[in-house]
Chains A and B, each alone.
Chain A
Amino acid sequence: MSALLLMAPALLLLLVVFVWPLLDYAWLSLQAQSVFTGLEAVPVGTLNWQRLLVDGRFWQDAWQTLRFAAVSVALELVAGLAIALLLHQRWRGRGVVRGLALLPWALPTTVMALGWRWIFNDPYGPINGLLQLLGLATLPFLAAPELAWLATVVADVWKTTPFVALLLLAGLQMIPDDLYEAFALEGGTPWQGLWRITLPLLRPYIFIVLLFRLAQALGVFDLIAVLTGGGPASSTESLALYAYLNAMRFLDFGYSATVMLGMFLLLLAGAGGLLLWRRQTDAPQEVRP
């Protein structure tokens, strides 16, 4: 009984900031509340959900959001690990570089997205300037659907790799040095050490990174809103951007709530998969050369 009492504040908070909005959205998704109803909520049953199921744009955006999240998080994980390993070594000037490496993460997303919009500018941006210098044709990075989504990935990787590196660096520092020493005595190479010691022991940290980053990347909004506005031809539009358009531009709150909930359900499935994967791979590992 006292346990429940002690937990009550936390539970209450969770109820207010999480469960209540969710229920509110679930209710809203069963209403037509839009500019056409004078913003009055009119119950329409599952009409919004039926529309969602056949809304090609929702599924296109879901695929694009997933693709964006998968590719950028994978690249961030690899680059972040490399940077973390580098910053874990002892060398002169490491402190300064550690500080500098965090800069992109500290920059507000809107600001850095505006910067990247300029960097990708055709033909005046620096990248196209470089291409012209090399005698190559300029590329319309933000004006071609097959390039624009890669541009959003590049900007996101640049911005969030430091965050991944920071978390993994914390993990690296938890691994005792004598493990590596014993491993070297037994004749193991540093490359083998990375696979047999570092990565297995980093697994909980990688899991945290994946959880944070996937949740963030799947909800990506500001970067894309500023960099491409979802274009060209909606090829970079994310689900969050679509939900925003429905609410703030079209004033269709019922459908916007449905899109958000649809996205939430997809996220939930993703998180469930990740948890399952963790359960299966979390068995204690033996460390052997």
Chain B
Amino acid sequence: MRGASRRRLTAIGLGLGLSLAIGLLSWAWARPAAVVRVLMPAPFADATADLVATFNRSHRDVRIAVTRGPFETDAVSDLAISSLLLGDSPYDLLLMDVTWTAKYAAAGWLQPLDPWLGPDALEPLVSGARAGNRIDGRLYRLPLVADMGLLYWRTDLMEAPPRTPDDLVAISRRLQEQGKVRWGYVWQGRQYEGLSCVALELIAGFGGHWGPGEAGFGLASPAAARAAGWLQQLVREGISPPAVANFAEPEALQSFEAGEAAFLRNWPYAWQELQRQGSAVAGKVGITTMVAEPGQPHAATQGSWGFSLLAGSPHPDAAATVLQALTGEASQRQLVRRYGYTPTLTALFDDPELVAERPLLPELRQALEQAVLRPLNPGYAQLSDILQRQLSALITGRGDPALAMARAARESDLLLRASGQEVGAQPKEVS
């Protein structure tokens, strides 16, 4: 990986050197271009290739050099962290998952964007996309695309989607007894970050809150125990397959796409996959937000990608220019139209032309307004790991939900205390 990217960098460097030589010959006034190096996960590097090429054609003093990272979120993080640990990062900009921001900022790897973007940088965004970018009043990240947890349901099997957990179980059971589907509900139960996303929505839907402000990081609450218990019940009562304990997004999607399940929890990307040829459920799928107990919010876990400026960047001005161009309206519009990503700019959600082309946008915006953020904490990865471990044990049939959540609560408090953070403190102000 490093060798390949270095070779690529060398190749890019050679290419740049050549074009520079030509440029000097052609225009005596040409200045050497600042090369802004950007690391992105492979899908984004591919989706933005045109945008980058257009930018490079129209700018003479700034050039973008994209490093195409791995596909998996964790692998991108490993690559970025390895390079950052070595001191001089080979990148200026990093496309980051929403959960990394607090950790990277605490490690001192990020530069605040405020000097370049000003205090109103988040104003053009829909409110659901604003959270998770500012930490302690400083802006560390500008989102490129939004992402949120959705409940997919089969329009051919029911009139309306379930709104409460009990509804979902009842409809599932009925359809299973009628032999219409093998399973009721498929979701992400593998011991990984996806399980925390599932849990975050449900804990909110059961009236709780995973995050600072309450004892045990919110996990000591009866709501957390009920949410965890519901997940256990799904598997125990056969509403969800036992294999769900090893399901990530692709496995859950596969099962739903084959027509085996009535409900699916996934991100917006699944919509296009479900509509393609060969899908057993094409044209029979609706989306809504996650079920919740009466009176509780139908929450959607936010999972967006955004650009951050790395602290070691030798030319932050040029990098900020690139960051603004790549997250701008023209750029987002193309990502929505060509690749089906969800935008973050209000203007795009309000654009009738775009809505005509992507009829899902209003519903996605609605879900985005319900977005709940995973805790903004430098220790988030570990807090999430604590929760995943207990949930995974519950789903595979071990233990009692209340006890398991109490254990997770205790471990979370221990971690917070050991790291010098207040336990049960009021949430930090986040906008």
Contacts and interface: CB of A to CB of B under 8 A. Distances in A.
B334 interface: no
B190 A140 contact: no
Contact of A39 (B107, B246, B419, B420): B107
Contact of A250 (B74, B108, B189, B379): B379
Interface string A204-225: 0000000000000000000000
Contact of B78 (A38, A138, A248): A248
A232 B395 contact: yes
Interface in A1-48: 34-36, 38-39
A229 B385 contact: no
Contacts of B33: none
Contact of A231 (B78, B191, B254, B419): B191
Contact of A122 (B108, B192, B246): B246
Contacts of B389: 233-234
Contacts of A145: 396, 398
Contacts of B385: 245, 249-250
Contact of B243 (A36, A140, A228): A140
Given A35-B378, A249-B385, A122 B243 contact: yes
Contacts of B245: 140, 143-144, 231-232
Contacts of A252: 382
B157 interface: no
**Dominant SS among interface residues on chain B:** helix
A230 B192 CA distance: 9
Contact of A143 (B82, B107, B246): B246
Interface residues of A, number: 30
Interface in A213-267: 228-235, 245, 248-252
Contacts of A249: 74, 77, 381-382, 385
B226 interface: no
A36 B418 CA distance: 9
A232 B103 CA distance: 26
B106 A35 contact: yes
A232 B246 contact: yes
Contacts of A233: 191, 389, 392-393, 396, 398
Interface of B: 74, 77-78, 81-82, 103, 106-108, 189-192, 241-247, 251, 254, 378-379, 381-382, 385, 389, 392-393, 395-396, 398, 419-421
28 contacts: A35-B106, A36-B421, A38-B107, A122-B242, A123-B241, A138-B243, A140-B241, A140-B242, A140-B243, A143-B189, A143-B244, A143-B246, A143-B247, A144-B396, A145-B396, A148-B246, A228-B246, A229-B191, A229-B192, A231-B191, A231-B245, A232-B191, A232-B245, A234-B191, A248-B78, A250-B381, A251-B107, A251-B381
